[in-house]
Structure 1
Amino acid sequence: MTETLAWNTSMMVSAIILIVTFLGIFTEGVHGFHRTKFAMLGAGIMIFAGQWFGFYSPELAVEAVDWNVVFLLGAMMTIVSIMIPTGGFQALAYRIADFSRGRLFLLMVLLGTAVTVISLLLDNVTTVVIFGPLIVLICQALKVSPVPYLLAAALLSDTGGVATLVGDPPNLMIGSAAHIDFNAFLMHMGGIVFAAWLTVLYALKFLFRKELSVLPSISDFADKGRIKDPKTWRISLIVLALMVVMFILHHEMGWRAWMVAATGLTVLIFFANDVDLDESFESLEMTLLIFFISLFILVGGVEHSHFLEYLGSFIKPFVEKDLLMASIVLMWVAAILSALIDNIPFTAAMVPIILSMEAQGITVAPLWWSLAIGVGMGGNGTHLGSTANVFIVTLSERLAKDTGNPELAITPGLWIKKGTPAMIMTLLMSTLILWMFFDFFAAPIHPH
């Protein structure tokens, strides 16, 4: 459908429901209602209104949910909940601390590397939930401020997550919608993420030069890193390694990514037979999964009313005229919005717009990559830019309160001084790479 769609009542109704719901989601700190409550309410109203005005139905709502994303997230969460109690991650962190021998920037690089590598497979929030408290313990033993290391953990988990299909929820949504497999995602994003990773570390070395130049008290961590359940930890690592191989081959196998995660989880619970299933499934973040399901239903309604197609018709001439500039603008807009608001709803709204342009025969490959870079890196811009950031800030505030030392709290002002410059530098680096290798990013994702 190349001509501009006529504005109609269905579009107006769905647009109002979407805008009001998103306002509720983005202002949860003001009214105190959890964003999932607003997402559920918006999804429910969208189904009722859609039935009334004839553009949506409960059947279409179920079809609108991207179950690949929901099942993949759920399976990965459960695998992590089995791995955390083994003590393996703690042992890894203490070995890193022992190896650094009081060289503070080396400690930051090694902890940052561990956080980034784990973020490639597990989501960012999980990574900082594991490493945040360990960083505090290591820094207390060394008698140095944990602030630079906590900030590095948040920034590098957000950055690392951008590299793979399973590293960050928006990537799952983009990959699932555009049928991008694990290999293609890693091939396109790996180089940019590596450059951004180096940029973040270099920026933090400069921004925290005073804190990183102090002499720590040398502490022996060798005896602290004991794994409580070596058998389950070893089996978990083997399963994760097999899953990486299967993620790489999932396209050839004709599997969706969720099948790989579900297979890995099934193998893990059979071989690590001491695992208490009730406990493992208890730590499933149902609130986040319901938030996703509700968002998919909400955006599905807007899509069926053709409102997103209507919006896309205004963006289309700009994309057709200058694809490189459109890609760069999308990356920066996505980054700025993701720094201010949650990147998941923004991604959910952008995906159908790009899909509708693709259906009209427009080259959209670079737009997918720009969206992934923008929403991933943009989370580093503010203390509220990602859930990982919020966790790290909360942890530092609790630490400041417990120790009576306000300097240990990561305040919004401190984030703007240290975190925001790091985000801007990574975006400048990403823009440069996108511009230099644009032909590579603009090549069709599925060459015929």
Structure 2
Amino acid sequence: MVKQIVAMFLFFLAYYVILSRSRRTSVKVFLLGLIAAVLKLSEGLTTENISRVVDFNTIGLLLGMMIIVSVLKSTGFFQMASVYAVRLGRGNLRRTVSMLAVFIAILSAFLDNVTTLLIFAPILFLVSDAAEVDPSKVLVLGVIASNVGGMATMIGDPPNIVIGNASGLSFASFIVHLAPMSFLMLLISLRMLSSVVSVDRASEAGLKRLAATNPREAITDKKLLLRTATIFVATICAFAFHEALDIDMAFIALLGATLSLIVANKSFEDVAKEIEWDTLFFFMGLFSLTHVMQELGLLSGFASLISMVRSRSLLLVVLVWLSAVMGSLLSAVPTTVVLVPVVKYLIGLGYSTHLWWAIALGVGLGANLTPIGAAVNIVGISLLKRFTGKSVSFREFFQTSFAWVLTGLIIASLYMVVMAFVGW
């Protein structure tokens, strides 16, 4: 009983740290995970069993993709893509922001969405400044596009990586089941532009000057870009066939990362600053705490409570909304790590694997509701403060995205019911 009380205390303390957005959140969560190991709250929490506690397939996949993105970033690829998006807008603000949102969504589906926003945020602010519109509104649309794009694939955002590795579902199945919803929600977010962004013709003159920039000037090393892009495409293709190849996705990502470093003539030290170490250690700490909660039977009680919903279709809807609410308040990654063992328990009782898609959609959509819903939200707001001196309050962010999230959750609920009905 003492172990359960201490475990719950550490677990809820970790969530308090996350919600309070205190400094060094990842370090504190990792520390709490270490404390759980030192106190031996779980017999499995030892160095010999660490690979069963911490999902190193998730850690390796994230690390590998971060390295590839770092090398790709050094070639000027993202800057080129940003300028092309502005040029395609032809001086029209709504068209320009729409193109930027599409570019952000597509790249976020296959790259780390935080890195994607880091590259595109300055362009969003530049466009806002040139058109003399509120940059906070444009930023929120960029954040939504990043989250929506990340929701489309297994590697697009950390929650999907966790779900993919825990469920054993294939890379292709994520695209087949989640990409249609992602595409639909992207279209709806673009429709939001008419109500969120307005501009007169006179102020669009600045956009036309910006569109005259030559995108090819952004490329710093054409040969390296071609080589790294080839490795990146090959890595994505290998992800799609990883089941047939019988190779863990972490090994594929790390292989691609190592080859990228070799062709770029770089060492691990050269890209160390580009790797989001906070994210990796945050995962390790959270995995440890969740493992303790699971081993002590504390999460099975939560799962048993959810399993009281007898209707399988209703259970899918409940999970969509539950994961969305939890994700918006507790952040997407912690919510996913907690719900994964719950879903495993329910599937063990005979429920359908559709439950995985329910939490993926719920967390993916709910992350857009609040400024703390996902890491990309927090990063985007900090960039807004740094570049423009403006900020987005909790209320402003909520008001901007509420109608979109509510619409998405209703559609996702119907989508899940239909999916379960037809056995897709």
TM-score, with length taken from structure 1? 0.87
Cα separation, 2, equivalents of 1:56 and 1:243? 33
Query: What residue identity is the alignment partner of 2:357?
Result: W
Deviations 1:86-142 (A, max 9, x none): 212111211221221112221122111100100011122111001001222234344
Query: Mind listing any 5+ residue stretches in structure 1 that lack a counterpart?
Result: 1-7, 402-407, 444-448
- RMSD over aligned CA atoms reads 2.2
Match of 2:67 among 49, 70, 78: 78
Taking a change above 3 Å as real, the CA distance of residues 255 and 143 of structure 1, as seen in their structure-2 partners, is same
* Structure 2 counterpart of 1:34: 24
CA contact (8 A) 1:25 1:38 kept: no
Equivalences for residues 181-330 of structure 1 within 5 A: 181-208=170-197, 210-211=198-199, 215-217=203-205, 218-225=208-215, 226=217, 227-273=219-265, 275=266, 277-318=268-309, 321-330=310-319
Which consecutive residues of structure 2, in runs of 5 or more, have no partner in the other structure? none
For residues 310 and 58 of structure 1, what CA distance do their matches in structure 2 show? 28
Pick the aligned partner of 1:382 from 362, 370, 377.
370
Contact 1:50 1:301 in 2 (8 A): no
Q: Which residue of 2 aligns with 1:439?
A: 421
Q: Take 1:341 and 1:118, find their aligned partners in 2: how far apart are those partners?
A: 26
1:16 to 3, 9, 12: 9
1:123-162 to 2 correspondence within 5 Å?
123-162=112-151
Contact 1:231 1:272 in 2 (8 A): no
Within-5 A mapping of 1:395-406:
395-401=383-389
Distance 2:214 2:239 in 1: 34
Q: Which amino acid aligns with 2:283?
A: F
Using the aligned pairs only, state the percent identity: 25
Say which SS state the counterpart of residue 93 (structure 1) adopts.
helix
Question: What is the DSSP-based 3-state SS (H/G/I as helix, E as strand, rest coil) of the residue aligned with 1:363?
Answer: coil
Equivalences for 1:322-361 in 2 at 5 Å? 322-360=311-349
Cα deviation for residue 255 of structure 1 reads 1.1
Count of residue correspondences: 420
What is the CA–CA distance in structure 2 between the aligned matches of 1:170 and 1:45, rounded to whole Å? 25
Q: Which letter maps to 2:107? A: I
SS of 1:50's equivalent in the other structure is coil
Task: Answer whether contact 1:380 1:386 (CA < 8 A) is retained.
Answer: yes
Relative to structure 1, is the Cα distance of residues 91 and 303 closer, same or farther in structure 2, using a 3 angstrom cutoff?
Answer: same
Compute the TM-score of the two structures, normalised by the length of structure 2. Answer: 0.92
Q: Tell me how far 1:145 sits from its aligned partner.
A: 4.2
